[in-house]
């Protein structure tokens, strides 16, 4: 059995693009064989993410693995103003199967995500701004 827990905000790494924010999760492999975390994704079209360690990486049975996730807002118009029940999709692989699991990380994560999105998008800037309209 594999589970994931929100572990709080983290400093955004140096060199991250503007409108980025980071947080940590704990991935716990409670039983069963070791797994490889092949991919971590989130559902919003206006954001991308990277993990530290970078995927793919291994997680052993009866262990916890701390993962730092850095999200980057690419287009403010495509992210929610208030993230109610945000989740992460994690693709897991072992010797027998590949499986995608969705993890809802709870109210602290939802609050942190909503605050980070508000801070990133207060100016309403998107990744592809439109030129100003000329009035004749």
Instruction: Give the pLDDT confidence of 71-122 residue by residue, as tens digits.
Output: 999 999 999 888 888 999 999 999 889 999 999 999 999 999 999 999 999 8
- Say if 127 falls within a structural domain: no
C-alpha to C-alpha distance for 79 and 122, rounded to whole angstroms: 12
Q: Is residue 131 included in any domain, yes or no?
A: no
Instruction: Say which DSSP state 80 is in.
Output: -
Q: What is the mean pLDDT of the chain?
A: 89
Res. 125: pLDDT tops 70: no
The CA distance from 98 to 39, in Å, is 11
pLDDT > 70 in the chain, percent: 90
Q: Where are the alpha helices (DSSP H) in 44-124?
A: 107-121
Domain-located, residue 17: yes
Q: Tell whether the model's pLDDT for residue 135 goes beyond 70.
A: no
pLDDT at 123: 57
Query: For residue 16, what is the domain's CATH number?
Result: 2.60.40
Phi then psi for 76, rounded to 5 degrees?
Answer: -60, -30
Q: Give the neighbor-by-neighbor strand order of the sheet with 98-104.
A: 57-59, 35-41, 87-93, 98-104
| Per-residue pLDDT band at 124 (split at 50, 70, 90) | low
In a domain, 109, yes or no: yes
102 bridge partner residues:
89
- Residue 6, domain member (yes or no): yes
**pTM value?**
0.84
- Given this model, what pLDDT does residue 21 score? 97
48 in a domain, yes or no? yes
> Is 36 part of a structural domain of the chain?
yes
The answer, yes or no, to whether the previous bond of 116 is cis (omega within 30 of 0) is no
Domain assignment of residue 72, given as a range: 2-121
Average pLDDT score over residue span 11-19? 94
Number of domains in the chain: 1
Asked, for residue 77, whether it belongs to a domain, the answer is: yes
């Amino acid at each position: 059995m594999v589970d994931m827990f929100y572990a709080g905000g983290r400093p955004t790494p140096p060199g991250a693009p503007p409108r980025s924010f980071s947080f940590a999760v704990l991935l716990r492999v409670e039983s069963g064989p070791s797994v490889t975390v092949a991919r971590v994704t989130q559902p919003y079209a206006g954001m991308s993410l990277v993990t530290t360690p970078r995927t793919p990486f291994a997680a052993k049975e009866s262990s916890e693995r701390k993962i730092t996730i850095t999200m980057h807002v690419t287009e403010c118009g495509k992210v929610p103003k208030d993230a109610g029940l945000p989740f992460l999709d994690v693709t897991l692989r072992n010797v027998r199967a590949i499986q995608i699991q969705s993890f809802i990380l709870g109210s602290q994560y939802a609050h942190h995500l909503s605050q980070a999105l508000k801070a990133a998008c207060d100016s309403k800037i998107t990744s592809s701004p439109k030129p100003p309209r000329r009035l004749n």
